[in-house]
Amino acid sequence: MGDESHRVATSDDIEVSAYLEIAKELHGEAAIAEEGLRPTPERETVVVIDFGSQYSMLIARRVRECRVYCELVPHDTPWQKIASLNPKGFILSGGPASVYDPGVPLAPSYVYESRLPVLGICYGMQVLTHQLGGQVASGSKHEYGHAILHLSATDTPLFANLPPSLPVWMSHGDQIMKLPPGFRALAYTDNSPISVMGNDNNIFGLQFHPEVVHTPHGKMILQNFLYEICGCKGNWTPSNFIAESIDRIKQQVGEGKVICALSGGVDSAVVATLIHRAINDQLTCIFVNNGLLRREESERVLNTFQRNLHMNVVYVDASERFLEQLRGVVDPEEKRHRIGEEFIRVFEEEASKLGKVDLLAQGTLYPDVIESTAAQTKVSAKIKTHHNVGGLPARMSLTLIEPLRNLFKDEVREVGLALGLPEDMIWRQPFPGPGLAIRIIGEVTKQRLEILRAADWIVMNEIKKAKLYRQLWQSFAVLTDVKSVGVMGDYRTYGYLVAIRAVTSEDAMTADWAHLPYDLLTRISNRIVNEVPGVNRVVYDITSKPPATIEWE
């Protein structure tokens, strides 16, 4: 889907509706229901076998950017699961191990027995070498960082459209000493005489990492493997995904009834819209206003889904209930817990008014799926309990429907745009489930919420005017519990301290404080102290994550 990013036009949607109209005329409604919307091309899949590299997920993303569907699977995945994907090729990821260490992960035999094309990356290349009869040794010089790759073979489709020399990113200790029988070296660097290898059965190895941005031609190399060697056509596009999903959703739901919690965020918006496309009024969305939203947020959500997209939306203004739950609570985790519990209660109450419901729609994404598999084997300290609505499916014992569970976030955005959702909803910065409650240090009260909403509105407004909104991962105001002395006109003031937080990030795991222009900070500060009663001082948070977190609580 990658190459179609930022596509706003919804020509495919027009095609779909035009197709529907014509099909209705020709065959009548019933025939269309049987046929589905339109034939979708068979999904081409490449399987990425994960040996634990920090870049494994990135490989999968790059493959998807080449418009080829792929799944990242653990190295011990059984053949039955792989066979069900009907793959066109394998990619073996990098990994921290050394092939001669005892008990290290190796490629399952089906990788070789299937006779499908294989691309081994870094450790993946060493695995190929070791298993196919070559020799791997600890390199005389470890290679980390930039290197120049010189192509020695001109006749391999893997190198189509590449210059004779190109910068690549290396990160390995071991290297190939002896090629396995039937292989030849295709490229070298100063430190690695065999930086790329290949045989006549479409098995290739790369010593460097094509998936990282420091290998600028890396995507072309991956694309060559996918298109020229695996024979993929690149049909993983938003419109094909939508058509395919609509068929699946119809099958899964049948005559059933689905409910979906709308949050105003991208994921739930796309899930709801996609499901609505498939089953129309069999879907009911429940939008709980917890009173902890940003200014105009609930109106915006209702406008989009109820008025423009004509979905069944049950709107519940539960602000008072949440405030009641939060009265006197200052501990951040306690706030999260209470908000999470109250959300479940409200949601359950509303759902029970709808009669028999069969499925609960959720906006689970692919990184969550991968991470939850990985997390089963990892132990990590709990910093914050982020997934505050996680209790919902368990409590309600409903079957889950998760149409986005194979998508990365950028793909969700593309699908959302292709579904015709407004750009400002698609490019909305992440907003935490507990909302403004974790941006108010200390007790959450109506008055303090109003102060924060007003300050936050100014931050958002100015950031958008400065055209920085999309570049920033998040930007917002925090209302602290500090009061300080100020002077306004001839009077002493004693008011709240507001902090501004703006960060850049790829995935919220790490973040840098954003170097916002001084004049923008000046405008924000002036406007807040002048326009928001009760605030007389503004500070800018210049801490990165780690050691700070993005939110203050």
* d(C-alpha 440, C-alpha 294), whole Å: 13
User: Where in 322-361 is the site for ligand XMP (CB under 6 A)?
Assistant: 336
Half-sphere exposure of 239 (CA within 13 A, CB side): 19
Q: Does 432 bind ligand XMP (CB under 6 A)?
A: yes
Q: Does 391 bind ligand XMP (CB under 6 A)?
A: no
Block residue for tokens 């974790």? 438
- For ligand XMP, the binding residue among 211, 297, 411, 551 (CB under 6 A) is 551
Minimum CB separation from ligand XMP for residue 303, in Å? 23
| Strands 196-198 and 184-188, bridge-based pairing | antiparallel
* d(C-alpha 479, C-alpha 494), whole Å: 15
Q: Considering beta carbons, is residue 257 or 337 the nearer one to ligand XMP?
A: 337
* d(C-alpha 543, C-alpha 128), whole Å: 44
Contact 323, 290 (CB under 8 A): no
Of the candidate spans 53-61, 216-224, 419-427, 429-437, the one that interacts with ligand XMP by CB under 6 A turns out to be 429-437
Contact 82, 47 (CB under 8 A): yes
Minimum CB separation from ligand XMP for residue 533, in Å? 27
Q: Does 434 bind ligand XMP (CB under 6 A)?
A: yes
Of the candidate spans 150-158, 319-327, 425-433, 519-527, the one that interacts with ligand XMP by CB under 6 A turns out to be 425-433
Q: Considering beta carbons, is residue 268 or 298 the nearer one to ligand XMP?
A: 268
Q: What is the 3-state secondary structure (H, E, C) of 312-360?
A: EEEEEECHHHHHHHHCCCCCHHHHHHHHHHHHHHHHHHHHHCCCCCCEE
Contact 358, 398 (CB under 8 A): yes
Q: Considering beta carbons, is residue 86 or 549 the nearer one to ligand XMP?
A: 549
User: Where in 245-304 is the site for ligand XMP (CB under 6 A)?
Assistant: none
**What strands lie across the sheet with 196-198, from one edge to the other?**
69-74, 45-50, 87-92, 118-121, 203-206, 196-198, 184-188, 135-151, 165-178
Contact 503, 541 (CB under 8 A): no
Q: Which of 211, 350, 411, 462 is catalytic?
A: 211
Contact 498, 479 (CB under 8 A): yes
Which secondary structure element, helix H or strand E, spans residue 123, and what is its range?
helix 123-131
Q: Site for ligand XMP (CB under 6 A): how many residues?
A: 14
Minimum CB separation from ligand XMP for residue 383, in Å? 6
Of the candidate spans 190-198, 252-260, 296-304, 543-551, the one that interacts with ligand XMP by CB under 6 A turns out to be 543-551
Q: Considering beta carbons, is residue 421 or 503 the nearer one to ligand XMP?
A: 503
Of the candidate spans 143-151, 197-205, 284-292, 383-391, the one that interacts with ligand XMP by CB under 6 A turns out to be 383-391
State yes or no: is 122 an active-site residue: yes
3-class secondary-structure state, position 399: strand
- For ligand XMP, the binding residue among 508, 520, 521, 539 (CB under 6 A) is 508
- For ligand XMP, the binding residue among 388, 475, 525, 536 (CB under 6 A) is 388
User: Where in 445-504 is the site for ligand XMP (CB under 6 A)?
Assistant: 474
Contacts of 220 (CB under 8 A, 6+ apart): 160, 161, 162
Q: Considering beta carbons, is residue 137 or 508 the nearer one to ligand XMP?
A: 508
Contact 478, 518 (CB under 8 A): no
- For ligand XMP, the binding residue among 164, 390, 430, 442 (CB under 6 A) is 430
Q: Considering beta carbons, is residue 67 or 336 the nearer one to ligand XMP?
A: 336
Of the candidate spans 25-33, 166-174, 290-298, 544-552, the one that interacts with ligand XMP by CB under 6 A turns out to be 544-552
Q: Does 384 bind ligand XMP (CB under 6 A)?
A: yes
Contact 274, 415 (CB under 8 A): yes
State yes or no: is 260 an active-site residue: no
Of the candidate spans 99-107, 357-365, 380-388, 445-453, the one that interacts with ligand XMP by CB under 6 A turns out to be 380-388
Q: Considering beta carbons, is residue 40 or 263 the nearer one to ligand XMP?
A: 263
Contact 363, 404 (CB under 8 A): yes
Q: Which of 209, 217, 244, 276 is catalytic?
A: 209
Which secondary structure element, helix H or strand E, spans residue 83, and what is its range?
helix 79-85
State yes or no: is 324 an active-site residue: no
Q: Considering beta carbons, is residue 186 or 365 the nearer one to ligand XMP?
A: 365
Residues annotated as catalytic are 122, 209, 211
Residues that bind ligand XMP (CB under 6 A): 336, 384, 386, 388, 430, 432-434, 474, 508, 545, 549-551
